[in-house]
Structure 1
Amino acid sequence: MRTDAAPATGRRRAPSVPPPIKRLLPRALLAVCCTLAATGVVGGFARPAEAATAITLNGASAGRTFDGVGAVSGGGGNSRLLIDYPEPQRGQVLDYLFKPGYGAALQVLKVEIGGDTNSTSGAEPSHAHFRGDLDCNRGYEWWIMEEAKRRNPAIKLMGLPWGAPGWIGNGTFLSSDLTGYLLSWLGCARQHNLSIDYLVPAQNERQWNAATTIAVRNALNANGYGNVRIEVAEDWTYSPADQFAGNQALRDAVDAIGVHYSCGYLSDQKTCNSSGTAINSGKALWSSENGSQDYNGGAKPLARGINRVYLDAKMTGYLNWDLVASTTPNNLWSTVGLVLANQPWSGYYSVGKDVWAIAHTTQFTAPGWKYLDSSSGYLGGNRNNGSYVTMKSPNNTDYSTVIETVDATAAQTLDLNVTGGLSTGPVHVWASNLNSNNPADLLVRQADITPSGGRYSLTVQPGHQYTVTTTTGGGKGSATSPGQGSLALPYSDDFEGYTAGREARYLMDMQGAFEAAACGAGRSGTCVRQTSTQAPITWKTLSDPYAELGNTAWTNYTVQSDVMLERAGYVELLGRVGGQELMNPGALNAYHLRVSDGGAWSILRTNTSAQTTTLRGGTTTALGTGRWHTVALALSGSTLTATVDGAVLGTVSDATFGAGLAGIGTSQGQTAQFDNLRITAGTGGGTSLALRNVNAGRCLDVPNNSQASGTQLALWDCNGGANQQWTLTNGRQLQVYGGKCLDAGGSGSRAVITDCTGAAGQQWNLNADNTVTNVQSGLCLDATGAGTANGTAVIVWTCNSGDNQKWTRS
Structure 2
Amino acid sequence: MTWTSKWRPALFAALLALLLGAVTGWGAPPAHAATSTAVTVDGTQPGRTFDGIGAISGGGGNSRLLIDYPEPQRSRILDYLFKPGYGASLQFLKLEVGGDTNSTDGAEPSHMHTRDKVDCNSGYEWWIAEQAKARNPHIKLQALSWGAPGWIGNGNFWSQDMIDYLMSWFGCAKKHGLAIDYVGGWNERGWDADWFKQLKSTLMAKGYRTKVVAAESFGWDVADAMAKDSEFKDAVDVIGSHYPCGYQSAFTSCPSSDVAQSMDKPLWASENGSLDTDGGAKAVARAINRDYIDGKMTAFVNWPVIASLYPNLFFSTDGMSIANQPWSGAYHIGATTWVTAHTAQFTRPGWSYIDSASGYLGGDRSNGSYVSLKSHDGSDYSTVIETMDATAEQTVNLTVRGGLPTGTVHVWSTDVKSSGTDDDFVRGADITPVDGSYSLTLEPGHVYTLTTTSGQGKGTATSPAKAALQLPYSDSFDKRAASKSPRYFTDMNGAFETTACAGGRSGTCLRQMAPTSPIRWTDEPYNAPYSIMGDGSWSNYTVTADALFSEKGTVELLGRVGQQGRNNNGLNAYHLRVSNNGTWSIDKSDTTWKFTRLTGGRTNTLGLNKWHTVAFTLQDTKLTASVDGKELGSVTDYSLSSGQAGLGVTGYQSQQFDNFDLTPGAPSPQHLGPVTSGLTDTCLEAENGADADGTRVLAGDCAGSTAQTWWWGNGQLRLGSSAGRCLDVTGAGTDNGSPVELWECNGGGNQQWVPQADGTLQGQQSGRCLAVPGSDATQQLVIQDCDGTAANQRWTLP
For the aligned pair, the TM-score class normalised by the smaller chain equals 0.7 to 0.9
1:328 counterpart letter in structure 2: Y
Aligned partner of residue 13 in structure 2, secondary structure: helix
Partner of 1:494: 476
Partner of 1:468: 450
Q: Report the CA distance between 1:275 and its aligned residue.
A: 1.1
**In 2: Cα distance, 1:31 partner to 1:269 partner:** 37
1:27 to 2:7 alignment: no
1:710 counterpart letter in structure 2: G
1:614 to 2:594 alignment: no
1:635 to 2:662 alignment: no
Partner of 1:114: 98
1:75 to 2:59 alignment: yes
1:674 to 2:657 alignment: yes
Q: Report the CA distance between 1:420 and its aligned residue.
A: 1.2
User: Identical aligned pairs, as a percentage?
Assistant: 53
Counting only pairs closer than 5 Å after superposition, residues 299-448 of structure 1 correspond to structure 2 as: 299-448=281-430
1:604 to 2:587 alignment: yes
Partner of 1:170: 154
**In 2: Cα distance, 1:388 partner to 1:693 partner:** 48
Partner of 2:164: 180
Q: Report the CA distance between 1:56 and its aligned residue.
A: 0.9
Partner of 1:451: 433
Select which of 172, 181, 187 maps to 1:204. Answer: 187
Query: Contact between 1:500 and 1:515, CA under 8 Å: does it hold in 2?
Result: no
Partner of 1:655: 638
**In 2: Cα distance, 1:217 partner to 1:14 partner:** 53
Select which of 210, 225, 240 maps to 2:222. Answer: 240
Residues 98-138 of structure 1 show CA distances to partners (whole Å, capped at 9, x for unaligned) of: 00000000011001100000000010100000111110011
**In 2: Cα distance, 1:698 partner to 1:315 partner:** 44
Specify whether residues 15 and 255 from structure 1 end up closer, same or farther in structure 2 by C-alpha distance, changes over 3 A only. closer
Give TM-score scaled by structure 2 length. 0.88
Partner of 2:769: 741
Partner of 1:7: none
Residues 647-676 of structure 1 show CA distances to partners (whole Å, capped at 9, x for unaligned) of: 111111111111111111002221111111
**In 2: Cα distance, 1:398 partner to 1:31 partner:** 31
Specify whether residues 114 and 740 from structure 1 end up closer, same or farther in structure 2 by C-alpha distance, changes over 3 A only. same
Residues 377-414 of structure 1 show CA distances to partners (whole Å, capped at 9, x for unaligned) of: 00000000000000000121310000000100100011
Corresponding pairs, count:
734
Unaligned runs of 5+ in 2: 18-29, 669-712
**In 2: Cα distance, 1:29 partner to 1:427 partner:** 21
Q: Report the CA distance between 1:49 and its aligned residue.
A: 7.0
2:211 counterpart letter in structure 1: R
**In 2: Cα distance, 1:460 partner to 1:143 partner:** 42
Select which of 721, 727, 750 maps to 2:780. Answer: 750
Counting only pairs closer than 5 Å after superposition, residues 476-555 of structure 1 correspond to structure 2 as: 476-498=458-480, 502-541=484-523, 543-555=527-539
Counting only pairs closer than 5 Å after superposition, residues 37-48 of structure 1 correspond to structure 2 as: none
Partner of 1:256: 238
1:215 to 2:198 alignment: yes
Residues 522-558 of structure 1 show CA distances to partners (whole Å, capped at 9, x for unaligned) of: 0111111001100001111251100001111111111
**In 2: Cα distance, 1:653 partner to 1:499 partner:** 37
**In 2: Cα distance, 1:708 partner to 1:550 partner:** 28
Unaligned runs of 5+ in 1: 1-10, 33-45, 768-810
Select which of 267, 275, 286 maps to 2:257. Answer: 275
Partner of 1:294: 276
Specify whether residues 719 and 618 from structure 1 end up closer, same or farther in structure 2 by C-alpha distance, changes over 3 A only. closer
Query: Contact between 2:752 and 2:764, CA under 8 Å: does it hold in 1?
Result: yes
Give TM-score scaled by structure 1 length. 0.87
1:761 counterpart letter in structure 2: N
**In 2: Cα distance, 1:432 partner to 1:693 partner:** 36
Q: Report the CA distance between 1:239 and its aligned residue.
A: 2.8
Specify whether residues 354 and 152 from structure 1 end up closer, same or farther in structure 2 by C-alpha distance, changes over 3 A only. same
Query: Contact between 1:330 and 1:579, CA under 8 Å: does it hold in 2?
Result: yes
Q: Report the CA distance between 1:447 and its aligned residue.
A: 0.3
Partner of 2:792: 761
2:303 counterpart letter in structure 1: W
Aligned partner of residue 316 in structure 1, secondary structure: strand
Aligned partner of residue 231 in structure 1, secondary structure: strand
2:778 counterpart letter in structure 1: G
Select which of 579, 590, 607 maps to 2:573. Answer: 590
Q: Report the CA distance between 1:501 and its aligned residue.
A: 7.1
**In 2: Cα distance, 1:569 partner to 1:608 partner:** 24
**In 2: Cα distance, 1:490 partner to 1:714 partner:** 33
Partner of 2:648: 665
Q: Report the CA distance between 1:306 and its aligned residue.
A: 0.3
**In 1: Cα distance, 2:340 partner to 2:728 partner:** 27
1:712 counterpart letter in structure 2: P
Residues 548-594 of structure 1 show CA distances to partners (whole Å, capped at 9, x for unaligned) of: 01111111111111000100011001111111222444x21111111
**In 2: Cα distance, 1:220 partner to 1:765 partner:** 67
